[in-house]
Amino acid sequence: MNGIWKWFTQDGDEASVLARMVGENFVAYRRQYIIAICALVVISGTTAFSAWLMGPVVEEVFLGGDLDAAYRLSAVVVAVFLVKGIMTYIQSVTLNRIGNNMVARFQRRIYAHLLSLGAGFFTGQHSATLVARINQNILAIREMLNVIVLAGARDLLSLIGLVGVMIYADPLMSAIIFLAGPIALYTIGRYARRVKTIARDEVHLNAQVTTRIQETAHGIQIVKAFTMEERMREGLEGLTKQVEGRANKIAQLVARTAPLMETLAGLSVAGVIAYGGWRVVNEGYSAGNLASFMTALLLAYEPAKRLARLKVAVERSFVNGRMLYELLDTPPEAADGGPSQGEGPELPLTAGEVVFDDVHFHYGQGDDDQPVIAGMSFIAEAGKTTALVGPSGGGKSTAVALLQRLYEPTSGAITIDGTDISSVSLMSLRSQIAFVSQSPILFQGTVRENLRFARPAASDSEIEAAARSAQAHDFITAMPQGYDTPLSENASNLSGGQRQRLSIARALVRNAPILVLDEATSALDNESEALVQKALESLMAGRTTLVVAHRLSTIANADKILVIDGGRVADEGRHGELLGKGGVYSKLHAIGLQ
């Protein structure tokens, strides 16, 4: 058995992946697997018994002319096949239920793990590619485990039982036939190694096809506007041809086992007919034993062929399983710096003063990577508005991302009311911050559900009050189902201004003491901005507010303006003071900070 395991998993990585898949899933479904395996054992037993039964049929009925035996054996055959049919139904339903639940369980597990990962993980991932790869990986694990159960409990046991019948009928002929085994195993092992090198490319290419289709669906207006149809069609055609080529190559490698197995089977059957027939004619060998041997040999062919293909076929699943566990083994958010998610103490917020103390940050790990934040220090006073302005790429949005611990500083400290935010739980920190982004993100569900995401305990009256303050109540009630109107994908049934006002209403529902506005009005036209400005004023009142902005209207009345340039605070003061200094701020103002 150990030798079979080593052949089946030719390297330590495969063995660890298989052991993990089996260990995690067989334990979880042990009761169902026991039922399925017991049914498969019965199926294997009926198959071997059917082969043995041919001996008495030939001896007692065909040669002995016993009619009573014919009736008796016919009844036995009906009973055997009835039992086999019932057991086949039981194992099929059981394994499919296991597989369906396994897919759902992995989907929940992976989704929960994705939610625990930091923003840095998603920065380098295309969403559609990630989703396509995950779905393909999960289905491959389901398929692999079912194949292993079927191969082990049905094919392997059937083969063992049929081989037992063959040995019982004629040990010498059995030994001669078994000499073909090492030849088949060696050839199949070579094919399997080649499949492994192709399978990972196939997974990535399939994910790219899904990505291209999803991008086209999301960006169909751009595709049409720039007459990109032909270019997109050619791009997808190239990808699908690559996928097709690799899939055909794998199919070819899997199918190459067929000529080998068919040839070996043909030689074996021909040898048995010739040698067995000679013994029956010249040595008085039992025709019943020969019939049992021949039937067992013929019935053994199919499970032997499936087992031979198994090693080649599951290499693709090994690749998918390895990729899935690579994702699951990605460390959760903040694992390398401070408590993650709900771990750690609560943030003891009193007033809401935010302090950046000599903060440095860079995205990469290499020595040549340039810092995005380079020694940034400032104080955002509690209950007041602090604006961050400066050239594009200066580090403004990165600074507010660090405040929310979407990333961890390379060095330095960020504190709220004197408490280092890296020492408290992420859940506690983020529950004290309301965030409005430059690009409003709304989710599948109704308007009311999207607003309630900010605070699940919020009442309907609180949600409607927030919408009124955000100047959103009127257009919401004008929608077909009001607050219960489902939003289309990416909320495309709303204008940009309406989406942003819902985003601001969501922040109002949050009712957090610290507010972060990351260019919250940059996507609005003048009319929409006028509607939102009153909402922002009420939202900012009494809160510690950090505003990243390009428009003068959102920062002219700020208590403090920080000019961010090159990842540090280049200047600070109120609007009039900074204009009088004639520095970076006045230059930005002159070229269109408005």
For residues 422-443, average pLDDT: 85
For residues 218-240, average pLDDT: 75
* Contacts with 575 (C-beta within 8 Å, 6 or more apart), sequence order: 552, 555, 556, 557, 558, 561
In this model, does residue 462 exceed pLDDT 80? yes
Lowest mean pLDDT among 66-75, 184-193, 444-453: 184-193
Q: Which residue has better confidence, 514 or 170?
A: 514
**Reported confidence tier of residue 169, pLDDT bands at 50, 70, 90:** confident
Between the ranges 9-13, 283-287, 481-485, where is the mean pLDDT highest? Answer: 481-485
**pLDDT digits 0-9 by tens, 545-586:** 998 876 666 677 889 999 888 889 988 888 888 888 877 788
String of DSSP letters for 73-94: HHHHHHHHHHHHHHHHHHHHHH
Angle between helices 287-328 and 257-283 (to 10 degrees): 160
Q: In the prediction, which pLDDT does 539 show?
A: 73
**Reported confidence tier of residue 477, pLDDT bands at 50, 70, 90:** very high
C-alpha to C-alpha distance for 586 and 577, rounded to whole angstroms: 10
How far, rounded to the nearest angstrom, does the alpha carbon of residue 400 sit from its chain's CA centroid?
29
Q: In the prediction, which pLDDT does 1 show?
A: 43
Q: Going edge to edge, which strands form the sheet with 514-518? A: 433-436, 514-518, 544-548, 385-389, 560-565, 568-573
**pLDDT digits 0-9 by tens, 299-337:** 877 787 777 667 666 666 777 777 788 888 888 765 444
Q: In the prediction, which pLDDT does 560 show?
A: 92
Q: Which residue has better confidence, 76 or 488?
A: 76
In this model, does residue 365 exceed pLDDT 70? no
Q: In the prediction, which pLDDT does 45 show?
A: 85
C-alpha to C-alpha distance for 378 and 221, rounded to whole angstroms: 43
Q: Half-sphere exposure of residue 222, counting CA atoms within 13 Å on the CB side?
A: 7
Report percent pLDDT > 90 for the chain: 12
Per-residue tokens: 427: 């859940």
Q: How far is CA 189 from CA 5, 9, 310, in A?
A: 13, 10, 11
Lowest mean pLDDT among 34-38, 102-106, 242-246, 589-593: 589-593
**Reported confidence tier of residue 362, pLDDT bands at 50, 70, 90:** confident
Q: In the prediction, which pLDDT does 11 show?
A: 52
What's the chain's average pLDDT?
Answer: 79
* Contacts with 472 (C-beta within 8 Å, 6 or more apart), sequence order: 498, 501, 502, 504, 505
In this model, does residue 417 exceed pLDDT 90? yes
Say if residues 349 and 357 touch (Cβ distance below 8 Å): no
Q: Which residue has better confidence, 122 or 260?
A: 122
Lowest mean pLDDT among 51-55, 257-261, 374-378, 474-478: 257-261
Say if residues 305 and 162 touch (Cβ distance below 8 Å): no
Q: In the prediction, which pLDDT does 333 show?
A: 62
* Contacts with 346 (C-beta within 8 Å, 6 or more apart), sequence order: 424, 425, 428
Between the ranges 129-138, 186-195, 562-571, where is the mean pLDDT highest? Answer: 562-571
**pLDDT digits 0-9 by tens, 147-167:** 777 776 777 888 888 888 888
In this model, does residue 7 exceed pLDDT 70? no
For residues 29-58, average pLDDT: 85
Q: Give per-residue burial for 340-352: e unless 16+ CB within 10 Å, then b.
A: beeebeebebeeb
Q: In the prediction, which pLDDT does 3 show?
A: 47
C-alpha to C-alpha distance for 385 and 402, rounded to whole angstroms: 18
Q: In the prediction, which pLDDT does 2 show?
A: 47
**Reported confidence tier of residue 402, pLDDT bands at 50, 70, 90:** very high
pTM of the model: 0.68
Q: In the prediction, which pLDDT does 189 show?
A: 59
In this model, does residue 366 exceed pLDDT 60? no
Q: In the prediction, which pLDDT does 4 show?
A: 44
In this model, does residue 113 exceed pLDDT 80? yes
DSSP state of 514: E
Q: Find where tokens 């040999």 sit.
A: 297
Residues composing the chain = 594
Say if residues 535 and 370 touch (Cβ distance below 8 Å): no
Where on the phi/psi map is residue 468: left (φ > 0), alpha (ψ -120 to 50), or beta?
Answer: alpha
